[in-house]
Amino acid sequence: MRKIVFLAALAASSAMAAPAFAQDATPTGFRAGVIGGYDIVRPGSTEDSNRDGDDQSVEGFQYGVEAGYDIPLGGAVLGIEAELSDSTGKTRTNSTDPNFFGYGEVGTGRDIYVGARLGFEASPGTLIYAKGGYTNARLNVLAINGDDETDENFQLDGWRLGAGVEKSIGRNTYAKLEYRYSNYTDADFERSNGTVTDRFEVDTDRHQIVAGVGVRF
């Protein structure tokens, strides 16, 4: 928990420190940027393994790129956005139980998100917003020693909700701090030979705290 608080405070101090020459304008038009922050994936309480006493969380550093387009609506802003990211998280266990973490030993892989956001100007150049959309994530299967990845993976489909604050820090640049919660409800398994299993139900939770910087065009 202290790690989350530290990362959030560090990101907030960076995102909200706007130079004196910042241009306080309503965020509009096309934007693109990079993100980085804390990522944690855990089994939910229904379909996956969620045994009392087990530390089944997979924690790591998330990093990626984003793009979006914002439209002004009076004092509000409506935007569409997409994100591609990856994460360094891996399970750390010697367990051979196939139900560990609900999937066995895995490492977090690429994460695709497409959605929309709606915000309002809390002050000139500062946008408070909520977001939501579709997410597709990959969990890479690890070798028995827990160090090496194979070509096999789980692909998870679900939804994401989040909220954040964005601040103009220059004529065409911005910084932001954001929290997101994702829940994955369906998955399939892709084997190394390219075959894919039928879809099956899962319940996997994901929490992320990220900071980002970007440019408007």
Tens digits of per-residue pLDDT, 147-177? Answer: 666 778 999 999 999 999 999 998 899 999 9
8-61 pLDDT, tens per residue? 444 444 444 434 333 456 678 999 999 999 999 988 765 444 444 444 788 999
Question: What is the percent of the chain with per-residue pLDDT over 70, rounded to a whole number?
Answer: 75
Please, which pLDDT band fits residue 103 given cuts at 50, 70 and 90? confident
176-197 pLDDT, tens per residue? 999 999 999 999 998 888 889 9
Please give the residue range of the domain that contains residue 135: 2-216
Mean pLDDT value across the chain:
82
CA distance 125 to 121: 7
Q: What is the pTM of this model?
A: 0.79
| Domain total of the chain | 1
CA distance 75 to 128: 11
CA distance 158 to 162: 14
The pairing of beta strand 29-43 with beta strand 58-73: antiparallel
CATH number at residue 123: 2.40.160.20
Among 3-12, 88-97, 103-112, 113-122, whose mean pLDDT is lowest? 3-12
Which DSSP category does 90 fall into?
B
